[in-house]
Chains A and B, each alone.
Chain A
Amino acid sequence: MLSYILRRIAYALPITLGVTIICFSLIHLAPGDPLSAVLPDNAGPDMREQIKIAYGFDKPLPVQYLLWLKNVATGDFGLSIQSRRPVVSEVLPAACNTAYLALAAVLIGFPFGILMGAVAGYTVGGWIDRAVTSVAVTGVSVPHYWLGMVLVVIFAVNLGALPAMGMGPGGQSSYAFDWAHLRHLVLPAITLAVIPAGIIARSVRATVADIRRRDFVGTLQAKGIGEGRVLYHVAKNAGPTILAVAGLQFAQLLGGSILVETVFSWPGTGFLLNTAIFTRDLPILQGTILVLSIFFVFINLVVDVLQTFLDPRIKRA
């Protein structure tokens, strides 16, 4: 078990390095001189020179990469072009807000998706199954940024029941668990939860239906064990698959939230990215992507390891 975990971590390391290479090249992908990409508009020639040396643009690319990597490893992601503040101090609060929203979406979407999928898997071919499958396909196909707009029209414009923008009253972004703050969370979290709920419902349905067809379930039933105990065995067998799908979906939520945050002006990474793109603030763009993708790699690692704890038969390279 330990050797598997170590091997899995050893495998994640080159991936992480690859991720940093892609993030590094983002600045060099930008059209024009990478220097002008990180330079404020009003920079004089001496500032130009200063930044050129600070970023190491006078050195060859591999050296630049290593220097950049060294800085990143010590938590120095450079300065935002717009605010001149360290990128880290802009990205981290935004990442927390995104994680907060993503967690809320997980709490809404995952139990719902698992329940729907399990019920459908138990009633394959019946009307419940067909209803769940249609709902799931809808959830998978819907453009969630549009769904967000529809929810705004219904609940904010027509009913006036829930706020359409921001994270708290008066545009503040603090974590208070009273209704005044939580009501801001409702619409974006539901919007974000729809796609993972659909995907999870589909996978859980397929997994549960598959397991229920296996011989051991028939044996259990033939032995006269109560349906509740059979359910326990089915759940135990479906667990690892569901965990894998759910983990991947949680990680995808981080990316998917870019569009939802834009719709609801949620002060998270998506909102930050969007602003960074239109002000050509490439250091912020780079920093945000790097933090999110490394987190993504980390979650995948955790899911894989958890899976082997749940089902020791899985020993993948």
Chain B
Amino acid sequence: MAMAEPAAIRTVSEVLNAGRPARAGVSRSYWAGVRRRLARDRVTIVCAAILFVILAAAIFAPYVTWADPYKTSMIRRLLPPGSPNHILGTDELGRDMFTRLVYGGRISLFTGFMPVFVATVIGGTLGVLAGYLGGRSNMLIMRVMDVFYAFPSVLLAVAISGALGAGLVNGLVAMSLVFIAPVARVSETVATQVRNEDFVEAARATGARTWRILIEHILPNVLGPILIYASSLISVAIVLASGLSFLGLGVSPPNADWGLMLNTLRQSIYVAPVNAILPGVMIFVTSMCFNLMSDGLRAAMDVR
């Protein structure tokens, strides 16, 4: 769950220095090569397929399940997987596990994506600005980021959402704040490198305005590495978001969410260990697939 910062920075610079055409915009052959390498990478394809199934099931949950995720039944509590009508058994209130796991993907995936998206937009903007502007602006932005970076990630998320109080929105705010600093750091590193390239110098010499240089020359060249780094955060975010729910800091019952299910089923671990462990399998598989996919993407974009 911890972020592997040094490796990420190294890879970003590797990606950047990987013989890409150093011009605004990226040539078509580069992306064709990326696609070719991705198509050959079996692990990435399998992971993408698994994620696609999980995501599609979550979106179309009412169409792929046949039970009510909220309907409790006192006489059908903690049925083992493989029971009639309940292929994955039931939970501690007699609700169908399969249905709840499918529905749970909605919140769990959302809480994994959303903070990374918010943090990429905010942290990316701050980092690119700091990297391009340099000087005092850089100092100011990056020192503030350093302060946020001075907290262990899980601790900061728990602290903020603990102070704000339990709830979906508070959890999202807390996690977004956690990811802003690492994204800003990576963005700043990349932007600083690009800013010293000749074509940026040339654009400046022709009198292009700052915002124009940023959008037309800097952005296309920093976006790839930033997005690759962000994609590696999704796996972290899903585990962290479920962790917050597991602590009772996420959505409130009776909502279905993998972390929350893990939390409530934990009380039944001695009675129905398999049921208690199932939601974690979903978290694990999803996080693992995102991790491998991010690795595959990084390798495919890294021409070495």
Stretch at the interface among A144-152, A169-177, A224-232: A144-152
Pick the contact of A255: B154, B166, B248, B280 (CB < 8 A). B154
For A144, the closest partner residue in chain B by CB is B1
Contacts of B250 in A (CB 8 A): none
Say yes or no: A256 contacts B280, CB within 8 Å.
Answer: no
Say yes or no: B6 contacts A251, CB within 8 Å.
Answer: no
How far apart sit A206 and B143, CA to CA, in the bound complex (Å)? 29
Contacts of A289 in B (CB 8 A): 151, 155, 159
Chain A contact-residue range equals 35 or more
Say yes or no: A27 contacts B163, CB within 8 Å.
Answer: yes
The residues of A with any CB-CB pair to B shorter than 8 Å are: 14-16, 18-19, 21-23, 26-27, 29-31, 137-138, 140-147, 149-150, 152-153, 157-158, 195-196, 199, 202-203, 206, 241, 244-245, 248-249, 251-252, 254-256, 258-259, 262-263, 273-274, 276-278, 282, 285, 289, 292-293, 296-297, 300
User: Beyond A146-B262, A150-B277, A293-B151, is A258–B158 a contact (Cβ under 8 Å)?
Assistant: yes
How far apart sit A36 and B290, CA to CA, in the bound complex (Å)? 43
Say yes or no: B242 contacts A277, CB within 8 Å.
Answer: no
Pick the contact of B291: A141, A147, A249 (CB < 8 A). A141
Say yes or no: A296 contacts B151, CB within 8 Å.
Answer: yes
How far apart sit A293 and B292, CA to CA, in the bound complex (Å)? 31
Stretch at the interface among B33-41, B95-103, B123-131, B266-274: B266-274
Pick the contact of B283: A22, A29, A143, A278 (CB < 8 A). A143
How far apart sit A273 and B159, CA to CA, in the bound complex (Å)? 8
Say yes or no: B247 contacts A15, CB within 8 Å.
Answer: no
Interface flag for B224 (CB, 8 Å): no
Say yes or no: A157 contacts B269, CB within 8 Å.
Answer: yes
Say yes or no: A293 contacts B155, CB within 8 Å.
Answer: yes
Say yes or no: A19 contacts B147, CB within 8 Å.
Answer: yes
For A25, the closest partner residue in chain B by CB is B163
Interface secondary structure of A, over-half rule: helix
Interface flag for B18 (CB, 8 Å): no
Interface secondary structure of B, over-half rule: helix
How far apart sit A254 and B280, CA to CA, in the bound complex (Å)? 22
> Per-residue CB proximity of B219-261 to A under 8 Å, as 1/0?
0000000000000000100010011001111000000000000
Contacts of B248 in A (CB 8 A): 277-278
Pick the contact of A199: B4, B144, B273, B292 (CB < 8 A). B4
A-B contact count (CB 8 A): 169
For A200, the closest partner residue in chain B by CB is B4
Say yes or no: A251 contacts B158, CB within 8 Å.
Answer: no
How far apart sit A102 and B143, CA to CA, in the bound complex (Å)? 29
Contacts of A245 in B (CB 8 A): 4, 6-7
User: Beyond A141-B291, A277-B249, A293-B152, is A203–B4 a contact (Cβ under 8 Å)?
Assistant: yes
Contacts of B155 in A (CB 8 A): 254-255, 258, 289, 292-293, 296
Contacts of A254 in B (CB 8 A): 152, 155
Interface flag for B67 (CB, 8 Å): no
How far apart sit A274 and B247, CA to CA, in the bound complex (Å)? 7
For B244, the closest partner residue in chain A by CB is A259
How far apart sit A33 and B219, CA to CA, in the bound complex (Å)? 43
How far apart sit A31 and B169, CA to CA, in the bound complex (Å)? 13
> Per-residue CB proximity of B170-191 to A under 8 Å, as 1/0?
0000000000000000000000
